[in-house]
Amino acid sequence: MSDTPRRDFLKTASLLGAGSLLDPRAATAAARRRKPIDEYDPANIKLARRVQGSLSDDDMKFLQQLGLRWVRVDLTRQQANLAFMTELQKRFAQHDIAIYSAVHPVQGSVNIGLGRPGRDDEIREYQDFLKALGRLKIPVAGYAFHPGNTYSTGRVVHRGYSVRVFDLDVFRKSVEKQKFGRDYSAEQMWDNYEYFIKRVLPVAEDSDVRMALHPDDPPVARMNGVAKLFTHFDGYKRANEIAGRSQHWGVLLCVGTWSEGGDRMGKDVFEMIRHWGKRKQLFAIHFRNVSGTLPRFYETFPDDGYQDMPKVMRTLRAVGFNGTTIGDHIPRMINDNGLQQAGAAYCVAYMRALLKQANREMG
């Protein structure tokens, strides 16, 4: 090749390269040509299923057939011990599944939540649970903190399936009552939360277990005479300060719950993902959708509500989230009992499709 053609070739190549920098469509096309991250890469989002500690071997096999490699396990008090969890972990391992997170029922204790006698014994029980998780290398403990909660005001049939509905007007007029003999103010509830977290978080840190806090569902600031703390971004911000901004304290972001609150939450779902994801304090996602916002909503399959779930998945990938996403509160389909295999498969397939698309876009 002579010098002139060579110069022309280099000039053309440089112009094409500059054009790709100036034209976002070219940049997008280039990004799509990058090899997407493998679904099971440790840096990728982990698709998971919420299960009970009594799960059968056949159900474990079904999860394996769905291509799932992680679960969140809800345990009874009798199951939340090292011996039981060790055997459960071994059973899951036979199906190439790992326990990524677990929940102990005393996290919802009225004694702990309201500062009643008996809370110290239950806190010690929870501390032992965290130590067991640490020994088994189970990285996340999920919990919530809303002892005065009313979860639902009924059921509604939507698209042929039955789901939970919450109507704030119905709750105030027909359901609400003072559950515990007196009112509990927000500051009293903050005292109770601080008492709990300052006794369990050091154990979580020593055990290398991350505590993932679920928002109050529904996100109503007071129910049944009890103030609720985690109905707004400011509640999470204050809790993070109480926890000393520990990297073992963080957020279990239920997309459905946060979507129920709409614009009253302080930050929207995407802002929450960016805020806590940037700080590496976003530990788990409940991938649920709803029909709309308070004062009335009902739950839906993740593709069937108002929230932009493809954008949720893209935002999670954009912040480098690599925890679990779980299809939560799966609507019950016909003849779908136990593990709800049909509904679970529906949700996993939808999440996987969104994840594959996000991975193609981001590499």
Share of the chain above pLDDT 90, in %: 87
**Residues 214, 245, 232, 148, CA torsion sign:** positive
Beta bridge partners of 161: 158
pLDDT at 25 (0 to 100): 59
Q: Please give the C-alpha separations between residue 342 and each of 62, 65, 70, 126, 176, in angstroms, as whole numbers.
A: 11, 13, 18, 34, 35
Q: Read off the pLDDT band of 30 (50, 70, 90).
A: low
Q: Which CATH architecture has domain 37-362?
A: Alpha-Beta Barrel (3.20)
Instruction: Find the mean pLDDT for residues 285-306.
Output: 98
Strand order in the sheet with 289-290: 154-158, 161-167, 296-300, 289-290
Whole-number Å distance between alpha carbons of 230 and 194: 13
Beta bridge partners of 142: 212
For residues 153 and 363, which has the higher predicted lDDT (pLDDT)? 153
Q: Please, where in the chain does CATH 3.20.20.150 lie?
A: 37-362
Whole-number Å distance between alpha carbons of 284 and 82: 23
Instruction: Find the mean pLDDT for residues 148-163.
Output: 95
pLDDT at 336 (0 to 100): 87
Q: Read off the pLDDT band of 29 (50, 70, 90).
A: low
Instruction: Find the mean pLDDT for residues 318-341.
Output: 93
* Mean of per-residue pLDDT scores for the chain: 93
pLDDT digits (tens, 9 = 90+) for 194-212: 999 999 999 999 999 999 9
For residue 269, the SS3 value is helix
